[in-house]
Structures are given as structure tokens and as C-alpha cells.
Amino acid sequence: MTASLIDGAALARSLRAQVAERAAALTARGRPPGLAVILVGEDAASAVYVRNKVKDCEESGIRSVLQRLPAQTPEADLLARIQALNVDPSIHGILVQLPLPAHIDTRRVIETISPDKDVDGFHVASAGALMTGQPGFLPCTPYGVMRLLEHAGARLAGAEAVVVGRSNIVGKPQALLLLQADATVTICHSRSRDLAAHTRRADVLIAAVGRARMITGDMIKPGAIVIDVGMNRDETGKLCGDVDFDSAREVASAITPVPGGVGPMTRAMLLVNTLEAAERKR
């Protein structure tokens, strides 16, 4: 079997076009959606992520406000800026780019963002809403994965879904979303015994680990749908996922590539969340 490709770049493009249309409608009524992005320090990768987010906003008709702060910014200053943005009616979403410098308490920063502007979905109120099935913002990566699965025609009800990775921003919320969709969910992590025994049972396999090509074709059930969240550099510096794409695609029925799978969807879902925040405020 050669798996079909789940094209995250194309799906993200169509989502961006929908966001642009809805953003234009809000703007025409004098209420342009607005996203505030705060970057603290000089981390090169963070600077690239932030640049991309600002560019995505511009292309989708979302007004973005970028605040670049020096690495030595005191935590109290950062919290005060967030509090000001919380009450700014022109701002509908607030994103603080992570990681933050070591002297700043990341949890405190995230909890200072008003939950109704928490478009990253990292606030404990957003996590609690997801856990209890209440409306709230979903973290962009697992939200994007659910859209990819829908696009791929995955039948989740009753399916065996295995998530490898249990971080607060990917693995755990991913597992909850799959559970909400009536899958039978297994979460694996670094202490799981016999990882392959779990992954081989998966009708839907989500890899969110951060280890280049660790999931090989022999660990995949024939016909499975495989979503590769990982973003790693291999020994030659090439971008690759957690899944060994070449061996996996011989076994799976559908698979996301890296790049061009989950990454563009994560970016697109931030726009979707920001737009929804603005529409709720209307």
C-alpha cells in the first residue's frame, strides 16, 4: 500500500481564505479582528515564528500588533502589558511567544491572559474547558490535527487512536479531542513499555515526540491514518518528522508530510481562533 498524502498546506490555504472573508466582513462593520503578539528576547527561532504569525495575519486581514521586548524585561512589566491588552477593545487575541527568558514565570504569564483572548489555548481555563467539554479556545496544533483528520475522512467513533507524547500543548489536548470524537484513546510517553505494541493497534496514530523518524513502518498498523506532529532536524540538518516517512507510507493509508502537514495547520488555526474571538465580541 502507498499512503495518500494529507496535504496540510492546501487545507491551511483554504482555511486562510475563509478567515480572510470573515475578517473582511468584520472590518467592513468597523470591527477589524486584532491579534497582539509579544516577543521577549532574541531567540532566533521565536523571531521566525513571530514573523510568520504577523505575516499570516496581514495576508488574512487580521490586524496584528507586535510588541518586541528586551530579554531582561522584568516579569511585572510583561504582566502589566498583558493586563493593558486584556482591556483593549481593539485586541481580540493575545499571544506570548514561548519560551520566555528564565527569570519569567511562564505559567503566571499565561494565566494573566484573559481567557476570552487566549487564542493559543494554553490558559488553564481553556484546558479545563476542553477537559469538561465546555466552549473555549483549543490549542492550535491539536485543533489543526482534528481538521486534518476530518479532511482525510477519518472515522473516529470507535476507532483505536494512539497519541505518542503527553505535553500540555500537543499530546494531552490531542488525546482529549480524540476522546471527544468518540475514539478509544491510548496515550504513550517516554516511560511506556513496548511502544510498538501500542502503535501497531492504532487506526489513527498521532506522533508528537520530537525525535527524528522514531516511528518506523513496522510500528504501524496496515491502513492506519498517521499524523506526524514532530518537527526535527536529522543528522544532515534536513527538516523531518517523528515518523519515518518512507517506510510508513508503504503501510499507512494516509499520512501527513513534514514539512507541509501539521505545521501550516497550526499557523492557520491561530487565525481561526483569533477570528472567532473577534466574532464572539461582536
183 binds ligand NDP (CB under 6 A): no
* Minimum CB distance to ligand NDP, residue 48 (Å): 13
Query: Where do runs of H (alpha helix) occur along the chain?
Result: 8-28, 44-60, 75-86, 106-112, 124-132, 140-151, 171-180, 195-199, 245-248, 262-281
Comparison of 26 and 185: residue with beta carbon closer to ligand NDP: 185
* Minimum CB distance to ligand NDP, residue 162 (Å): 11
Alpha carbon 133 to chain centroid distance? 19
Q: Which of 35, 138, 262, 270 binds ligand NDP (CB under 6 A)?
A: 262
Tell me the one-letter amino acid at 118: D
Number of residues that bind ligand NDP (CB under 6 A): 25
Q: Which of 53, 117, 166, 221 binds ligand NDP (CB under 6 A)?
A: 166
Candidates 28-36, 51-59, 78-86, 184-192; binding stretch for ligand NDP (CB under 6 A) = 184-192
Comparison of 26 and 152: residue with beta carbon closer to ligand NDP: 152
User: 113 near 127, Cβ under 8 Å?
Assistant: no
Whether the bond into 33 is cis, omega within 30 of 0: no
Comparison of 210 and 217: residue with beta carbon closer to ligand NDP: 210
Whether the bond into 173 is cis, omega within 30 of 0: no
* Minimum CB distance to ligand NDP, residue 178 (Å): 15
266 binds ligand NDP (CB under 6 A): yes
Tell me the one-letter amino acid at 142: P
Could you give phi then psi for residue 165, rounded to 5 degrees? 120, 140
40 binds ligand NDP (CB under 6 A): no
Give the integer Cα–Cα distance in Å for 192 and 112: 35
Q: Give whole-number Cα distances, 109 to 32, 43, 48, 122, 276, in Å.
A: 26, 18, 21, 11, 22
Binders of ligand NDP among 195-254, rule CB under 6 A? 195, 208-211, 229-232
Tell me the one-letter amino acid at 175: A
Binders of ligand NDP among 111-150, rule CB under 6 A? 141
Comparison of 62 and 208: residue with beta carbon closer to ligand NDP: 208
- The residues that are catalytic are 53, 97, 120
Positions touching ligand NDP (CB under 6 A) are 141, 164-167, 169-171, 188-192, 195, 208-211, 229-232, 262-263, 266
